[in-house]
């Protein structure tokens, strides 16, 4: 069975509470449920990890090299400075979808730089929670090419 790892970075556990005017009122669990529904309809399995610790994300990416076919990652603030996540993703051989609820390029200038984008297969940004189901669909399409 196709397996997709969804990684959620720093502060994403606060979705639904943190800046709802930017990120909406849905929780991370709501978004993961949406991804799971999409995955179920496509016959794929989802595993999810949220962590505010960069090392946890890096370890999960390393493990994914053995047990996942694709990675969807919403790195949160790690997007802009985590070369450790960049390097770990560069070693992953399957598709990597970088995902953002908001559009980082439409926000503060410091959010315009992503160190994840150069190692991502695709980027989905600015579509809110719909991005999770779209990312699952995109990952499956890339795997089936």
100 is catalytic: yes
Tell me which residue range forms the domain holding 60: 3-144
Q: Is 86 a catalytic residue?
A: no
Q: What is the mean pLDDT of each run of 10 residues along the chain (145 residues)?
A: 96 80 83 97 98 98 98 94 97 97 75 90 94 98 96
Among the options 31, 80, 86, 100, which is catalytic? Answer: 100
- Tally of domains in the chain: 1
**pTM of the predicted protein model:** 0.93
Residue 85, domain CATH: 3.40.50.9100
What is the reported pLDDT for 106? Answer: 65
Selection from 13, 35, 9 nearest residue 115 by Cα: 9
Select which of 23, 31, 86, 132 is catalytic: 23
């Amino acid at each position: 069975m196709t397996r997709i790892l969804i990684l959620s970075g720093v502060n994403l556990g606060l979705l639904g509470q943190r800046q709802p005017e930017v990120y909406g009122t849905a929780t991370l669990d709501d978004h993961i449920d949406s991804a799971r529904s999409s995955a179920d309809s496509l016959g794929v399995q989802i595993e999810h990890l949220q962590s505010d610790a960069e090392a946890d994300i890096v370890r999960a990416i390393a493990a994914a090299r053995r047990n996942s076919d694709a990675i969807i990652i919403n790195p949160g603030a790690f997007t802009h400075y985590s070369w450790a996540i960049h390097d770990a993703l560069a070693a992953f051989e399957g598709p990597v979808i970088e995902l953002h609820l908001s559009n980082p390029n439409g926000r503060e200038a410091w959010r315009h730089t992503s160190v994840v984008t150069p190692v991502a297969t695709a980027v989905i940004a600015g579509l809110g929670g719909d991005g999770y189901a779209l990312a699952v669909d995109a990952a499956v399409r890339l795997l089936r090419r």
